[in-house]
Amino acid sequence: MIRAIIFDFGNVLEIPPDPQEMLAQRAAVAAHFGMTAEAFWNYLFTSEAWQKAKRGQISEPQFWQEVFATLGVTDPDQVRAFKDQLLAFKGHVPPLMRSLLRQLHKRYRLAVLSNTADPNLDRLLTEELGLHGLFDVIISSAAEGMAKPEEAIYRLTLEKLGVRPEEALFVDDMERNTQAAAALGMQTITFTTPEALQAELLRRGLLDAPVS
C-alpha cells in the first residue's frame, strides 16, 4: 500500500507555461555558440561543472560562470544575460499540479527530491512558488552532497518520510531516475504531463476523483 509520493521538481512540478517558447529561447542561446538546442542543453547538464553544482561543491553562480567560460564567455553581465534567457520560464507550477498536490496531501506523505544547485529548495517551494504546507520532506541534492540516480539519496528520502521502498511512489521525468527507484523496490511513474499523471494516479486508485 502506498503511503508516500515523491516528486521530482524541474519539468514535473515546475513546468513552463509555453514549452515551445521556452525551446525557442533555448535554441536562440544555443545558436550563438553554433549548437543545437538539444546539444547545448546536454552540454550544460552533463558538464563537470553541473556534477559539482548539483552536489553542492560549487554554487549556482559558479556553475554558470564555469560552463560559459568554457565557451569563451567570461563577462559577468553577458553570462547573466544568457542565463536569464535560458531560465525565463522558471517559476510556473500549473494549476492542475497544484490541485493534484492538494488532494494527494490529504492521503499521503509528500516529498520533493530534486537534482538542483539550490541548497534552499524548501524556500523556493514555499515562499516563491506558494506550495507551503504541501510537502513533508524536501530534499535538495546540493544540500545533501549526493544526487539521483545514486541509491543513497533515494534511501535518505525514504528514511525522512518514514516509509519502506514498497510503500512509496516516485514520479520523475527522467527514466534513469525512475529505473533507479524501481530497482530499490519503489513504484514509479515516468512523468510526461500533468494530465497524464492524473490519469495514471486514477488508474492506480491513488486519487478518489478527477481534480479541476
pLDDT score, position 210? 60
Give how far the C-alpha of residue 207 lies from the chain's centroid of Cα atoms, to the nearest Å: 22
Q: How far apart are CA 12 and CA 9, in angstroms?
A: 5
Of the candidates 27, 50, 51, the residue with the CA atom closest to the CA atom of residue 40: 27
pLDDT score, position 19? 86
Burial 163-190 (b: 16+ CB within 10 A, else e): bebebbbbbbbbeebbebbeebebbbbb
| Number of separate helices (H) and strands (E) present in the chain | 11, 5
Place of cell 521502498: 165
pLDDT score, position 212? 53
The domain made up of 4-16+91-203 has a fold known as: Rossmann fold (3.40.50)
Q: Where in the chain is the domain with CATH 3.40.50.1000?
A: 4-16+91-203
pLDDT score, position 114? 98
Q: How far apart are CA 139 and CA 156, in angstroms?
A: 9
pLDDT score, position 208? 83
Strand ranges of the sheet holding 168-172, from the earlier edge strand across to the other edge: 137-140, 109-114, 4-7, 168-172, 187-190
For residue 193, the one-letter residue type is: T
Q: What is the mean pLDDT of each run of 10 residues along the chain (212 residues)?
A: 97 92 92 95 96 97 97 96 90 94 97 97 92 96 98 98 98 98 98 97 88 52
pLDDT score, position 211? 52
